[in-house]
Chains A and B, each alone.
Chain A
Amino acid sequence: MKKRQTQARVPRCKKCGAPAVIYMRQHRLALCETHFQEWFVNYTQRTIEKYHMFGPEDRVLVAVSGGKDSLALWDVLTQLGYRADGLYIGLGIDEGTQYSQRSLEAVRGFMAERPGLRLYVVDMKEAYGETIPELARRVRRGRGKPCSVCGLSKRHIMNELALREGFDVLVTGHNLDDEAAVLFQNTLRWQTGYLARQSPVLEATHPGLVRKAKPFCRFYEREVAAYAIVRGIEYQYDECPFSVGATTIYYKELLNQLERHSPGSKFQFYTQFLKAKKKGLITFHEPEGEVVLRPCRICGQPTTAGEICAFCRMWVRPDMDLEEAKRSVPSLTFRVETSESEEG
Chain B
Amino acid sequence: MAKVVFRDQEWEIPGGKTVREIIEELGLNPEAVLAVKGKKLLNEETVVEDEDEIKLIAVISGG
User: A residues near B, CB below 8 A?
Assistant: 2, 5-11, 19-23, 33, 67-69, 177-178, 220-222, 224-226, 229-230, 232, 237, 239-240, 243-244, 246, 248-249, 252-253, 256-257, 259-260
Contact = CB atoms under 8 A, between A and B. Distances in A.
A9 B61 contact: no
Nearest to A19: B43
B5 interface: no
A320 B40 CA distance: 59
Contacts of B29: 253, 256-257, 260
Nearest to A249: B62
Contact of B45 (A9, A244, A248): A9
The 4 closest A-B pairs by CB, nearest first: A243-B62, A246-B62, A225-B59, A9-B45
Interface of A is mostly: helix
A221 B59 contact: yes
Interface in B27-62: 29-32, 34, 36, 39-47, 49, 57, 59-62
Contacts of A244: 62
20 contacts: A6-B46, A6-B47, A7-B46, A7-B47, A9-B47, A10-B43, A19-B43, A21-B40, A21-B42, A21-B43, A33-B41, A225-B34, A229-B39, A229-B41, A232-B39, A243-B62, A256-B29, A256-B31, A256-B32, A257-B29
Most buried by A among B29, B36, B59: B59
Contacts of A10: 43, 45-46
B41 A239 contact: no
B31 A259 contact: yes
Nearest to B60: A252
A27 to B, nearest CB: 14
B34 A248 contact: no
Nearest to A224: B59
B46 A229 contact: no
Given A221-B61, A222-B32, A229-B36, 5 more contacts: A11-B45, A23-B45, A226-B34, A237-B57, A252-B60
B52 to A, nearest CB: 9
B43 A240 contact: no
B55 to A, nearest CB: 10
Given A67-B61, A221-B60, A256-B60, A23 B43 contact: yes
A28 to B, nearest CB: 15
